[in-house]
Amino acid sequence: MAAALPAPGVDAVALRASYLLEAGPVGSMPPPPTLRGMAGTAMKALAGKKMHVLLDRIAERAAFERTGVRLYDMMLQKVAVAPALPAGMTIEGVREIRDEEHSHYLMLAAAIETPGGDPTAMTPCADVTGVQGTGLVQAMGEPRLTIAQALSTLLAAEVIDNASWELLIDLANRFGQDELAAQLTGALAAEQRHEATVRQWMATALAEESGV
Question: Considering just the CA atoms, what is the radius of gyration of the chain in Å?
Answer: 21
Predicted confidence at residue 44, as pLDDT, reads: 52
> Does position 167 have pLDDT exceeding 70, yes or no?
yes
Domains and CATH numbers, the chain: 48-210 (1.20.1260.10)
> Does position 25 have pLDDT exceeding 80, yes or no?
no
> Does position 148 have pLDDT exceeding 60, yes or no?
yes
Range in 34-38, 154-158, 177-181, 189-193 the model is least confident about:
34-38
pLDDT digits (tens, 9 = 90+) for 83-137: 999 999 999 999 999 999 999 999 999 999 887 788 888 899 999 999 999 999 9
**Distance (Å, whole) CA 56 – CA 29:** 7
**Distance (Å, whole) CA 121 – CA 127:** 10
**Distance (Å, whole) CA 117 – CA 121:** 8
What does the pLDDT average to over 182-189?
Answer: 98
Which one-letter amino acid corresponds to residue 203?
A
Top pLDDT among 165 and 6 is at: 165
**Distance (Å, whole) CA 196 – CA 167:** 19
DSSP the chain: -PPPPPPTTS-HHHHHHHHHHH---S--PPPPSSHHHHHHHHHHHHTT--HHHHHHHHHHHHHHHHHHHHHHHHHHHHHHH-S---TT--HHHHHHHHHHHHHHHHHHHHHHHTTT--TTS--HHHHHHHHHHHHHHHHHT-TT--HHHHHHHHHHHHHHHHHHHHHHHHHHHHTT-HHHHHHHHHHHHHHHHHHHHHHHHHHHHHHHHHT-
Q: How far is CA 147 from CA 28, 94, 136, 212, in A?
A: 39, 12, 15, 17
Structure pTM? 0.81
> Does position 70 have pLDDT exceeding 90, yes or no?
yes
The proportion of the chain whose per-residue pLDDT surpasses 70, expressed as a percent, equals 80
